[in-house]
Structure 1
Amino acid sequence: MRAVAAFAVCVTHAAFWAGDYTPDLWGAAYSRLQAAVPVFFALSGFLLVRPWVAAARSTVRGGAAGRDGAVGRDGVSGRRGGGRDGAGTAGPDLRRYAVHRAWRILPAYWTVVTVVYVIYLWRPDGSTHGQGWVGYVRHMTFTQIYGVGYVHTGLSQMWSMCVEFAFYLVLPLLGAAIVRCGPRAWIVPAAMVALSVGWLVLVIETNVFGKTTRTWPPAYAAAFAAGIIVALVIDRVRAASWERWARWGLLLAAAAAFAVLLTPAAGPLDLRLPTTAQGVTKYLLEALIGGLLVAAFAVGRPGVLGSRPMVWLGSISYEYFLIHVIAMDVVVINVLHYSLFQGSTWTIVAVTSLVTVPLAWVLSRAVERLRARASAR
């Protein structure tokens, strides 16, 4: 799923470069592929909250919380001896959680940010944003979205990493709330959806905190909540043996939500500001799509997404996401010699991916080797 989502992000960026955000169905579809980013958020919500969900269920059953198994590369241990939530129940090991998250995102992210800044010591940059040490420190600390003028060329997609990073920081608190609420754990994602709606109404109506507020973490709380909801209900779906028709129903529902996203109800396709109703509708539809897609592939067999090529692409999808914008900038300007709003979307996608995939693999392998050496020490 991450591989598909990362590719969709690349396509929407290429379509913007090529000027294909046209006022027709194809232009709308290209533009709304931005919904792939909330899919990442829903995936994070689903994968990372599961140890706390397991702890909550163990508490309800009267057992020792957190004994349910670990969650693989993107999860944390559910073994006893971890951090304590407010109810005094043993939850996931927060130190292990922090170490896993740090290794997963920081080395690759810091490497790409640093390389981009070094490249632009020589490469001409038509933008004055994000320049100098202030811009660099902002990017390295995931704070470039908090204010206007800090996003550097080649790093525009990193706003989503600021949102992800904020979620990683607050997840232990959300998890503790889920464990404390027990059978009423749905209150937590419901509160997150309410936060998104309230935040969007506030910042669109008043512009109180400036122009960048629609990319701040509260705006996307509903997308993470969608993944958390899936984590809370998925076992019931499996237990009810709904897998045969559940996936197709969920995929059809996601397609219907995406169709609504193409309409004026979700706001303009270009950079014009939406009305409050349009903004809220757009963000909630994107969260719904993310949750439906995660749910669709969390039930039953993985199908084509479980094939070896897709699993391999998924394993480097994060690095692909980090690199593709600077690669696209070089490809469009220096290789294809396109001007802005000219050229072919799919030519840009193909050449950019041809460059980005091997670079993403090298970066992923380098981080894995670095981590192995650190673990050995």
Structure 2
Amino acid sequence: MPTTPHPTGTTPPTPNLRSLTGLRFLALLPVFLTHAAFEGVFTDPRKSWGFLDAMGSAGYASVSFFFLLSGFVITWSYRSTDTTRRFWRRRAFRVFPNHLVAYVFAVALMLAAGTAFDVPGMVAQLFLVHAWVPDPLFIDTGNTVTWSLGADVAFYALFPLLLALVNKIKPTRLWYAAGTVALLVVALPTVALTLLPDTPAMAVGGVSRSQYWFTYFFPLSRAVECVLGMLMARIVLTGKWIRLGVLPAAALVAVGYAVAQQLPFLYRLSAVLVVPLALLTAALAVADAEGRGTPLGSRAMVWLGELSFAFYLVHQVILAYGHVLISPRDAQGGVLPRTWGTAGGITMIALSFVVSMALAWLLHNGVEKPVMRRWSRPRRQAAPRPPAKVPAT
């Protein structure tokens, strides 16, 4: 790592973490496939349930990675010349324009599909505050994946304060702090199961709605993972990394995932994998910073990673409401979800992926990039012209 002083008091990062950008897209695939599995597109119920069982908790693990990544990357790229106002401005223009376009798109699909509106839920979703309501059913409307944006917004609001606290930790104590925060993530399911009521129960998982919400959706619970990402960035920037390679870190993730599948539902969400994922994130950042790179940093993977935010925002509504649109109705107007054989079901999932990618490209290039170029930073004011010299008389 270079040794030139960094504005935040640490060593400077490389300008671009290409491998982590590429990994963003790979991490999205389990999310997409899990949501596709929920649609039950196969005529044979055993295949539909087998597909869902095969996905396990891979989608949940990806969500945990994205929260870690958010804390890591923002801390990595932060400069002392940034002000709180400028930081919030960049984050707002990064999140809300894409969200609003995707929100309108979701509403249009819901109207076309004749899907009932949960008005309070949709209003809360518009302002990205729906994840604060302690009931997962409140989130299960419209573009349901936007609950994570609400958690991100809460983290962004707290980030300047959190960064000041994290920067006060001595480099020699950063690993202790990271371990403490990781233990908090591990403890969250136990807190939920101990302190929150066990009714009303969910259909899966053997837990109550409030226990599930507190562990998975509650913005402050997910902010703990973001803080762990912040601490891992500081560990790397201050030269306290333990030199764990990318392949060993990836092996730890695989082992952690296998272990997690044997544990109760709430512990599978992030408690077991948060440490291996944090180590993998840091290992990839070190590989890029030292110029070694990885295949994840290839031009194609980076391009796909740059589309990942837009893809995340559009894929679920394509899967859910697109499925409703092409399904027949019964005599009372109820939806009879269409199903297919193995080849047909796989084709429909692949087609949904292609359509989501095309829409993601349009959203990224038509909204996200232009908005960030134009409004994410205040325009520089032109320097005032010096007064014209008056000829001497």
Quickly name the TM-score band, shorter chain normalised.
Answer: 0.7 to 0.9
Determine if the alignment matches structure 1 residue 139 to structure 2 residue 125.
Answer: yes
Looking at structure 2, the residues matched to 236 and 182 of structure 1 have their Cα atoms a distance apart, in angstroms, of 10
- Answer with 102-111 or 178-187: which moved more: 178-187
Looking at structure 1, the residues matched to 127 and 298 of structure 2 have their Cα atoms a distance apart, in angstroms, of 36
Task: State the partner residue of 2:365.
Answer: 365
Residue 197 of structure 1: how far off its partner (Å)? 4.3
Looking at structure 1, the residues matched to 25 and 31 of structure 2 have their Cα atoms a distance apart, in angstroms, of 10
Task: State the partner residue of 1:254.
Answer: 253
Match runs of 1:33-44 below 5 Å: 33-34=58-59, 35-44=61-70
Identity of aligned residues (%): 25
> Structure 2 counterpart of 1:327, which letter?
I
Determine if the alignment matches structure 1 residue 230 to structure 2 residue 252.
Answer: no
> Structure 1 counterpart of 2:366, which letter?
A
- Answer with 362-371 or 281-290: which moved more: 281-290
Task: State the partner residue of 1:179.
Answer: 167
Residue 152 of structure 1: how far off its partner (Å)? 4.7
| SS of match in other structure, 1:302 | coil
Looking at structure 2, the residues matched to 193 and 372 of structure 1 have their Cα atoms a distance apart, in angstroms, of 36
Looking at structure 1, the residues matched to 224 and 193 of structure 2 have their Cα atoms a distance apart, in angstroms, of 17
> Structure 1 counterpart of 2:189, which letter?
L
> Structure 2 counterpart of 1:39, which letter?
F
Looking at structure 1, the residues matched to 73 and 165 of structure 2 have their Cα atoms a distance apart, in angstroms, of 17
Looking at structure 2, the residues matched to 21 and 223 of structure 1 have their Cα atoms a distance apart, in angstroms, of 32
Task: State the partner residue of 2:94.
Answer: 104
Task: State the partner residue of 1:8.
Answer: 30
Task: State the partner residue of 1:298.
Answer: 285
> Structure 2 counterpart of 1:200, which letter?
P
Aligned residues of 1:227 and 1:290 also touching (Cα < 8 A): no
Aligned residues of 1:250 and 1:293 also touching (Cα < 8 A): yes
Looking at structure 1, the residues matched to 322 and 112 of structure 2 have their Cα atoms a distance apart, in angstroms, of 17
> Structure 2 counterpart of 1:315, which letter?
E
**Is the radius of gyration larger for structure 1 or structure 2?**
2
Looking at structure 2, the residues matched to 161 and 238 of structure 1 have their Cα atoms a distance apart, in angstroms, of 31
> Structure 1 counterpart of 2:317, which letter?
I
Task: State the partner residue of 1:47.
Answer: 73
Residue 318 of structure 1: how far off its partner (Å)? 0.3
Looking at structure 2, the residues matched to 257 and 191 of structure 1 have their Cα atoms a distance apart, in angstroms, of 19
Aligned residues of 1:45 and 1:226 also touching (Cα < 8 A): yes
Task: State the partner residue of 1:352.
Answer: 352
> Structure 2 counterpart of 1:325, which letter?
Q
| SS of match in other structure, 1:285 | coil
Aligned residues of 2:121 and 2:138 also touching (Cα < 8 A): yes
Match runs of 1:1-377 below 5 Å: 1-18=23-40, 22=49, 28-34=53-59, 35-50=61-76, 71=77, 76-79=78-81, 92-125=82-115, 131-132=118-119, 134-145=120-131, 146-148=133-135, 149-183=137-171, 184-186=173-175, 188-207=177-196, 210=210, 212-214=213-215, 215-235=217-237, 242=243, 246-263=245-262, 265=263, 267=264, 274=265, 279-280=266-267, 282-300=269-287, 301-335=292-326, 339=337, 346-367=346-367, 368-374=369-375
Higher relative contact order (CA 8 A, sep 6+): 2
Residue 22 of structure 1: how far off its partner (Å)? 4.5
Residue 256 of structure 1: how far off its partner (Å)? 0.8
Residue 317 of structure 1: how far off its partner (Å)? 0.4
Residue 210 of structure 1: how far off its partner (Å)? 3.1
5+ residue gaps in structure 2?
1-22, 198-208, 329-335, 380-393
Count of aligned pairs between the two proteins: 320
Q: 1:357 to 1:197 in 2, by over 3 A?
A: same
Looking at structure 1, the residues matched to 151 and 175 of structure 2 have their Cα atoms a distance apart, in angstroms, of 22
Looking at structure 1, the residues matched to 317 and 229 of structure 2 have their Cα atoms a distance apart, in angstroms, of 30
| SS of match in other structure, 1:284 | coil
Residue 363 of structure 1: how far off its partner (Å)? 1.0
- C-alpha RMSD over aligned residues: 3.1
Residue 234 of structure 1: how far off its partner (Å)? 2.4
Q: Deviations over 1:101-128 (max 9, x none)?
A: 1111111012212321233234222xx5
Moved over 6 A (4+): 236-240
Aligned residues of 2:307 and 2:364 also touching (Cα < 8 A): yes
Aligned residues of 1:234 and 1:295 also touching (Cα < 8 A): yes
Q: 1:197 to 1:307 in 2, by over 3 A?
A: closer
